[in-house]
Amino acid sequence: MKISFIGAGSMAEAMITGLIERDICQCDQIYATNGGNKIKLAELENRYRIHTSYDLKEIVSGADIIIFAVKPKDADAALRNIQPFIEKQALFVSVLAGISLAFIEERIGTDHAIVRAMPNTSASVGKSATAVTCNRNVSSAQEQLTLDIFSSIGMTAIVEENQLDAITGLSGSGPAYIYYLVEAMEQSAVELGLDADIAKRLIIQTLSGAADMLLTSGKEAATLRAEVTSPGGTTEAGLSVLQQNGVKEALMECVKTAAKQSAKLGSMYEKEHMNSR
């Protein structure tokens, strides 16, 4: 099996790490290129013992799987450049937000098996939440292979393509929302006189424990919240401030706005490039 990465940034590196550590493929089965950062490409070759090159024919020809992980602004040019070397049997997997299956088909051909995937930055620690959608040419074996690949960096779910913008707003951008909340908790802890390092460790463990409770208890978030909230107690007092300030509504609007922005950016990009073939 030959797996080729077009784009070699942090997401590509996370996937390469997962593929190797989970024994989905061997180091010498992985090929990678990028837009010109020779230092980064050399680092990947030395660290993971993979093949790297700026010869696109060498990278793409004969590939069983092509992982498309360039910057969105470079997507159109990159698709054009690799199109002549993509072979019929190759599974094309894009991890770019906003670039539709139809756009990719228009660039590389409607007869190719194409997958869109939306991982998030937690892939770097093997904890990504990845949504996957496939075009009509993807076989059941290719779909399973895609799930195996993304399971190597976290959990996966198959969705309809029209759900991907919502997922981008939810789990794609989601880590940033959590970090934002942690920033606020850290600042409040320091203002209350706690040591910053101790506060950080307490917050991280609290988040980890809450996540495990959601994962293993089988209970809804609202139920778990109610179980922690005693009438007249400290938790109720704190939650009342969140309610008074509309934090729940703000978070809901946050996710919805990010989803709308994903759809808007994808539409703008495709309108700009669709007729430029």
pLDDT tens string 151-203: 999 999 999 999 999 999 999 999 999 999 999 999 999 999 999 999 999 99
Q: Quick count: other Cβ atoms within 10 Å of Cβ 276?
A: 7
pLDDT tens string 104-162: 999 999 999 999 999 998 998 889 999 999 999 999 999 999 999 999 999 999 999 99
Q: Of 136, 164, 192, which one is at a domain's C-terminal end?
A: 164
Q: What is the mean pLDDT of residues 18-42?
A: 93
Is the full-model pTM beyond 0.85? Answer: yes
The DSSP call for residue 171 is: I
In-domain check, residue 48? yes
Do 26 and 146 have their domain in common?
yes
Q: What is the pLDDT of residue 277?
A: 52
Q: Cα 271 to chain center, whole Å? A: 24
Residue 154 to residue 32: CA distance in whole angstroms = 22
Same domain for 9 and 139?
Answer: yes
CATH code for the domain in which residue 248 is found: 1.10.3730.10
The pLDDT assigned to 58 comes to 96
Residues 119 and 226 in one domain: no
Q: In the predicted model, what is the mean pLDDT of residues 228-234?
A: 96
Q: What is the mean pLDDT of residues 51-55?
A: 96
Both 136 and 210 in one domain: the answer is no
Average pLDDT estimate for 41-49: 96
Kindly state whether residues 193 and 159 are assigned to the same domain.
no
| 189 within some domain | yes
Quote the domain boundaries for residue 241.
172-262
Rounded to 5 degrees, what angle do the CA atoms 120, 33, 274 make?
70
Cβ-Cβ contacts under 8 Å for 227 (sequence gap 6 or more): 219
Q: How many whole angstroms separate alpha carbon 206 and alpha carbon 72?
A: 36
Cα(26)–Cα(22) distance, integer angstroms: 10
Tell me whether strands 154-158 and 128-134 are parallel, antiparallel or unpaired: parallel
Q: What is the pLDDT of residues 62-114, one digit of tens each?
A: 999 999 999 888 999 999 999 999 999 999 999 998 899 999 999 999 999 99
Do 130 and 25 fall into the same domain?
A: yes
Same domain, 137 and 246: no
Q: Is residue 239 part of a domain?
A: yes
